């Protein structure tokens, strides 16, 4: 009898099917564009394009994120977060199919559609977590970041075997990713039942813009620093360790260690957040971990595997915190979606500039030391912002997106 009651309470308090549906949605938010990286050489040869043109397959989605993210909160308030997430999965699926048709035009068009869908998903998931799992924000955020990382790593490992199979090529390898948004959309359809389209807003005193709160800018800055560090390291780490004497194969392995380590912090973040009064100490300690990684790369690069693991763990932990803050500092799901839009618009703007800026520094100086010092400065700035956004404070109740 007691066992039955406990089971019922768990089911009603924590919807397992909804949790699984969210994990499947999250699995679509990184792999469709990071999974292209191993195929860039094939794309160059097949389409007779330069390395920089092929590289747009990775950077173009970031530019799309910057453009699309600010539009999502208004669309969410008009159509509802659940319906808009379904539309995001449709965009991702359509983009994957179109990208696989062959030809440079289809490749770019499909990539833009994929970026649009991923941008919407990135903005909306924190709002869905806030509204549907208000007491489990850290758990859900850590879990869906882990789902993103696992699926991204899986497709990065699968695309080359699929492309090199007797019946395969780069188009088949990219088209195979279509299974993710199709299955996810079918699961997510169950979340639309019984959910009505939001009622039109009636005349009332307009809410203040969230940009009038210093907390908004602090959350945006924290997210932007983390985005700069992640995309800079993921872009240039192989080149940095290659200059230190590692072979291309070893540099690829070190890059893999960085990616894998970034998926692990959720195992520590969730129990730590449950025990701490706020997240200031956690943010500072995780930033110290990635600072140790940058210091190690500069001082003793022969231990690059260790430093890559520290960088991945520290940056990955702060990424989970950055996403958690979008829900923890908001009062409602709509406010969380607005804060998510603001943070990700600024974050991906800075992220897109990071790899280019560090590459330009290297081209000018011919060595990576100054570029790494720039990363150290961003890490220190992130630590300072963490002392503000890590407090247990909320946005003003009458704040909303200005869009």
Asked if the model's pLDDT at residue 149 lies above 60, the reply is yes
Asked if the model's pLDDT at residue 5 lies above 60, the reply is no
Q: In the CATH hierarchy, which fold is given to the domain comprising 210-395?
A: Growth Hormone; Chain: A; (1.20.1250)
Higher pLDDT, 56 or 345: 345
Task: Find out whether 369 and 304 touch, Cβ atoms under 8 Å.
Answer: no
The pLDDT of residue 205 is 45
Note every long-range contact of 229-232, with CB atoms under 8 Å and residues 24 or more positions apart, other chains counting: 229/290, 229/315, 229/354, 229/375, 229/378, 229/379, 229/382, 230/262, 230/315, 230/319, 230/351, 231/62, 231/351, 231/352, 231/354, 231/355, 232/354, 232/355, 232/358, 232/371, 232/375
The pLDDT of residue 366 is 85
Task: Find out whether 85 and 72 touch, Cβ atoms under 8 Å.
Answer: no
The mean-pLDDT minimum among 20-24, 158-162, 298-302, 368-372 falls in 158-162
**Distance from CA of residue 170 to its chain's centroid?**
25
**Can you tell me the distance from the alpha carbon of 316 to that of 70, in angstroms, rounded to the nearest whole number?**
24
The pLDDT of residue 9 is 39
The pLDDT of residue 10 is 41
**Can you tell me the distance from the alpha carbon of 124 to that of 333, in angstroms, rounded to the nearest whole number?**
9
Confidence of residue 313 (pLDDT cuts 50, 70, 90): very high
**Can you tell me the distance from the alpha carbon of 260 to that of 248, in angstroms, rounded to the nearest whole number?**
18
User: 177: which DSSP letter?
Assistant: G
Confidence of residue 254 (pLDDT cuts 50, 70, 90): confident
Q: Is 391 helix (H, G, I), strand (E, B) or coil?
A: coil
**Can you tell me the distance from the alpha carbon of 403 to that of 74, in angstroms, rounded to the nearest whole number?**
6
Tell me the domain boundaries of the chain: 14-191, 210-395
Task: Find out whether 320 and 145 touch, Cβ atoms under 8 Å.
Answer: yes
- Residue 48 region by backbone torsions, left for phi larger than 0, else alpha for psi between -120 and 50, else beta: left
Asked if the model's pLDDT at residue 330 lies above 80, the reply is yes
Superfamily name with CATH number, domain 14-191: MFS general substrate transporter like domains (1.20.1250.20)
The mean-pLDDT minimum among 97-101, 102-106, 182-186, 385-389 falls in 102-106
pLDDT tens digit string along 71-103?
A: 988 898 888 889 999 999 999 999 999 999 988
Q: What is the DSSP string of 179-227?
A: HHHHHHHHHHGGGSTT-PPPPPPPS-PPPEEGGGSHHHHHHHHHHHHHH
The pLDDT of residue 218 is 92
Higher pLDDT, 130 or 255: 130
- Asked whether the domain spanning 210-395 has the same topology as the one spanning 14-191, the reply is yes
Mean pLDDT of 170-174: 90
User: 69: which DSSP letter?
Assistant: G
Higher pLDDT, 298 or 163: 298
Helices then strands (H, E): number in the chain? Answer: 18, 2
Question: For the chain, what is the mean pLDDT?
Answer: 83
Which of 47-56, 219-228, 256-265 is the most confident on average?
219-228
Other beta carbons within 10 angstroms of residue 301's beta carbon come to 16
Asked if the model's pLDDT at residue 67 lies above 80, the reply is yes
Token readout for 75 is 């669309």
Confidence of residue 259 (pLDDT cuts 50, 70, 90): confident
Q: Kindly state the percentage of the chain with pLDDT values over 70.
A: 89
């Amino acid at each position: 009898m007691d066992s039955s009651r406990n089971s019922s309470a768990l089911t009603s308090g924590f919807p397992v099917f909804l949790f699984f549906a969210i994990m499947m949605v999250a699995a679509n938010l990184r792999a469709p564009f990071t999974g292209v990286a191993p195929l860039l050489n094939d794309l160059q040869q097949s389409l007779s394009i330069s390395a920089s043109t092929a590289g747009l397959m990775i950077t173009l989605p970031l530019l799309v994120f910057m453009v699309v993210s600010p539009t999502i909160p208004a669309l969410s308030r008009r159509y509802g977060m659940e319906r808009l997430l379904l539309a995001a999965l449709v965009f991702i699926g359509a983009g994957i199919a179109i990208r696989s048709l062959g030809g440079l035009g289809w490749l770019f068009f499909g990539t833009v559609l994929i970026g649009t869908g991923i941008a919407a998903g990135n903005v909306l998931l924190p709002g869905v977590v806030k509204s549907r799992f208000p007491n489990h924000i850290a758990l859900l955020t850590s879990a869906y970041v882990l789902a993103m990382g696992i699926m991204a790593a899986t497709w990065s490992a699968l695309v080359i075997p699929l492309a090199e199979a007797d019946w395969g090529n780069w188009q088949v390898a990219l088209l195979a990713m279509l299974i993710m948004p199709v299955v996810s959309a079918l699961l997510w359809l169950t979340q639309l039942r019984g959910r009505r389209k939001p009622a039109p807003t009636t005349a009332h005193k307009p809410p203040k813009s969230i940009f009038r709160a210093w907390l908004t800018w602090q959350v945006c800055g924290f997210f932007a620093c983390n985005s700069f560090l992640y995309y800079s390291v993921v872009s240039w780490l192989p080149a940095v360790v290659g200059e230190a004497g590692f072979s291309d194969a070893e540099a690829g392995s070190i890059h893999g260690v960085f990616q894998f380590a970034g998926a692990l912090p959720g195992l520590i973040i969730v129990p730590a957040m449950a025990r701490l009064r706020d997240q200031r100490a956690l943010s500072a300690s995780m930033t110290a971990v990635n600072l140790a990684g940058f210091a190690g790369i500069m001082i003793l690069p022969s231990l690059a595997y260790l430093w890559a693991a520290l960088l991945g763990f520290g940056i990955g932990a702060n990424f989970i915190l950055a996403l958690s803050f979008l829900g923890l500092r908001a009062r409602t799901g709509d406010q969380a979606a607005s804060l998510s839009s603001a943070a990700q618009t600024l974050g991906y703007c800075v992220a897109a500039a990071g790899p280019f800026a560090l590459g330009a520094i290297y081209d000018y100086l011919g060595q990576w030391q100054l570029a790494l010092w720039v990363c150290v400065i961003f890490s220190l700035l992130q630590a300072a912002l963490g002392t503000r956004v890590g407090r247990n404070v909320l946005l003003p109740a009458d704040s909303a997106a200005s869009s």
